[in-house]
Chain A
Amino acid sequence: SAVISQKPSRDICQRGTSLTIQCQVDSQVTMMFWYRQQPGQSLTLIATANQGSEATYESGFVIDKFPISRPNLTFSTLTVSNMSPEDSSIYLCSVETSGGAREDEQFFGPGTRLTVL
């Protein structure tokens, strides 16, 4: 298992600004993921962030809008750039601890609740 913390837990931002969300894990993990959960919606994978390589983005998400850093095996950041009200969501970080097999579960952080005015 893994214990994951995220900062900030929530924020209210003005449109056009950027917010960086931090994700810290209590153990070294290879795979980290960033999800978006829009109001009343399910989770959508934004990108996979593996240490030592560029993040891999899912269809509909681009690096210019959601730049990701993964400087080491316990930490990652997601930046939401040039925000608009449509970016108001919960952003969740998750990790996979067993090497990426299909049967392995992911462990989730508590989420960052972002409101853009």
Chain B
Amino acid sequence: AQSVTQLGSHVSVSEGALVLLRCNYSSSVPPYLFWYVQYPNQGLQLLLKYTSAATLVKGINGFEAEFKKSETSFHLTKPSAHMSDAAEYFCAVSGSGDYKLSFGAGTTVTVRA
């Protein structure tokens, strides 16, 4: 079965500092991986996705993620945090034979002025 593990349920960063959110996956087939963001009182919005075309994936709002097969990781980064990045971030992996998504537990990001 496919699954993802997000390390760290809460991350606090200073404005302008690096944001690093960790995601490790387990998959019996080549994975397709996604990062979603959920702003307060809103639904989920796709930040980026990995579909095997390139290991470094650039997304919206300055975020990027690097797929590392040897480490079974898909960590999300942003070089300089902005106050508007305060939200909950979810890593997800698609199923082995279908479209179903399995989500990680989520990481809440707070940004300090």
Which residues on A are within 8 Å of B, measured CB to CB?
4, 31, 41-43, 45, 48, 92, 94, 96, 100-111, 113
- Chain B interface mostly helix, strand, loop or mixed? loop
Contact of A109 among B34, B43, B105 (CB under 8 A): B43
CB of A111 within 8 A of CB of B42, answer yes
Look across to chain A and name the residue whose beta carbon is closest to the beta carbon of B33: A103
Contact with A along B73-111 (1 / 0, CB 8 A): 000000000000000001000110111110111100000
Which residues does chain A contribute within 8 Å of B90, judged by CB atoms? 42-43
Query: Is B32 interfacial (CB 8 A cutoff)?
Result: yes
Cα-based distance from A108 to B49 in the complex (angstroms) = 15
CB of A102 within 8 A of CB of B43, answer no
* Given A42-B104, A103-B32, residue A108 in contact with residue B45 (CB < 8 A): yes
Chain B nearest Cβ from A45, distance in angstroms = 6
Q: What are 21 A-B pairs with beta-carbon distances under 8 A? A: A4-B43, A41-B105, A42-B105, A43-B90, A45-B101, A48-B100, A102-B95, A102-B97, A103-B49, A103-B51, A103-B52, A103-B94, A104-B99, A105-B49, A108-B43, A108-B45, A109-B43, A110-B41, A110-B43, A111-B41, A113-B41
